[in-house]
Amino acid sequence: MAWANGLIKTIIDRSNHFISCDVAVVIADKYPKARHHYLVLPTEDIPSIYSLNRTHLPLLEELHLLALNITEVRGLQWDNFKVVFHAKPSMQRVHLHVISKDFISDCLKTKKHWNSFNTDLFVPYETIYNQLSNDGCIQRWPKEVVDDLLATPLKCNQCSFEANNMPTLKQHLLEHSE
């Protein structure tokens, strides 16, 4: 099984499920980019957000409900989380990220990681839901826009600090958590 299909293998094993229902499961991200990082995936094989249509709106509502449930089950504050989809997903199977805003993690290693999680490439659930509701589909982003966002300077997600490199940014993020 190819690396990009790893999520499918993970959700097949029920021991990985934190929460599940008839249409979706919640798992821990195997390479978390923050202290708390969960993925909500449908059991239906939907490759990405670009495969969604209006008939999937009830499914998205269920994914969002499971996102809320995982924070409650773990005793965490909903306001401390982003609930988002990637505009440029690296893994097959549409998945909703439920990720704490601290972004403190040994798995957060590169500028590409940071910018894929802290620019407009990380699209809020509400934006995807509304676009799907209004337009009936999600439009793929032009490569130039994606490349520009991935090249964005390393900006703190909590203040105006701009880092020259990932180690400096990671040290700065630790200061926010103290």
Residues with a known catalytic role: 95
Amino acid identity, residue 52?
Answer: L
Q: Would you say 101 and 173 are in contact if contact means Cβ atoms under 8 Å apart?
A: no
Measuring CA to CA, which residue among 178, 177, 161 is closest to residue 36? 177
42: left (phi over 0), alpha (psi -120 to 50) or beta: beta
> Is the separation of the CB atoms in 57 and 42 below 8 Å?
no
